[in-house]
Chains A and B, each alone.
Chain A
Amino acid sequence: AQTVTQSQPEMSVQEAETVTLSCTYDTSESDYYLFWYKQPPSRQMILVIRQEAYKQQNATENRFSVNFQKAAKSFSLKISDSQLGDAAMYFCAFQTGANNLFFGTGTRLTVIP
């Protein structure tokens, strides 16, 4: 069975600073995909970043980057130069093949002005 664990229910960061959100997962699969989704108060689920497990290079999208450690089954999200608009719930998710996403329980990020 696939499980996704986010051990930080809440995090806070000062505006313009950097924050890292943690995620670990458990699977016996060798090919899979990892995602970070953002859910602002509007409720919309927005894809932040995606990582293919077969790629060693960490994915980057502007101020968002990941630290993917396959052996450790770890997939953390780093947000640089935090902005007020980054305040949201962040969900780590795992996917094998063309199947559904397994989500973690989320981390609520607060950005302090």
Chain B
Amino acid sequence: DAGVIQSPRHEVTEMGQEVTLRCKPISGHNSLFWYRQTMMRGLELLIYFNNNVPIDDSGMPEDRFSAKMPNASFSTLKIQPSEPRDSAVYFCASSLLEDGEKLFFGSGTQLSVL
């Protein structure tokens, strides 16, 4: 298996633009997580899905952020409009929906909003 695949690896955009980050989880995994990593706040959970259903989105900063999982093999995280404070590394991770299962992380998307 190729692991969790995220695209793009780097994204540079201007303030106000829409940004879409993509994630393909490991085949057979039924939980998917979006994390954001910054120097100031470390790793924060934004949202996670079980069986394609959003379970907890309390970490989503504000209405500018939205996430979807239309099927078991694809998820998107969208920021509209983007702001400089959104600059961070965004990680997607997947796992089996069982207690204590380890998360497998993608390589992350480095987002820079100018």
- Report if A and B associate in a common complex: yes
Give the interface of A toward B (CB within 8 A): 31, 33, 35, 42-47, 50, 52, 91, 95, 97-106
Which of the residues B43, B104, B110 comes within 8 Å of A91, measured between beta carbons? B43
Q: Are A101 and B103 touching (Cβ within 8 A)?
A: yes
Q: Are A106 and B42 touching (Cβ within 8 A)?
A: yes
Which of the residues A31, A45, A98, A99 comes within 8 Å of B105, measured between beta carbons? A45
Number of chain B interface residues as a range: 20 to 34
B62 within 8 A of A: no
Top-9 shortest CB links A-B: A45-B105, A33-B100, A103-B43, A100-B45, A105-B42, A47-B102, A43-B108, A98-B97, A97-B99
Q: Are A98 and B101 touching (Cβ within 8 A)?
A: yes
Q: Are A95 and B100 touching (Cβ within 8 A)?
A: yes
Q: Are B108 and A50 touching (Cβ within 8 A)?
A: no
- The verdict on A44 contacting B48 (CB below 8 Å), with A50-B100, A97-B99, A106-B42 known, is no
Which of the residues A44, A47, A91 comes within 8 Å of B107, measured between beta carbons? A44
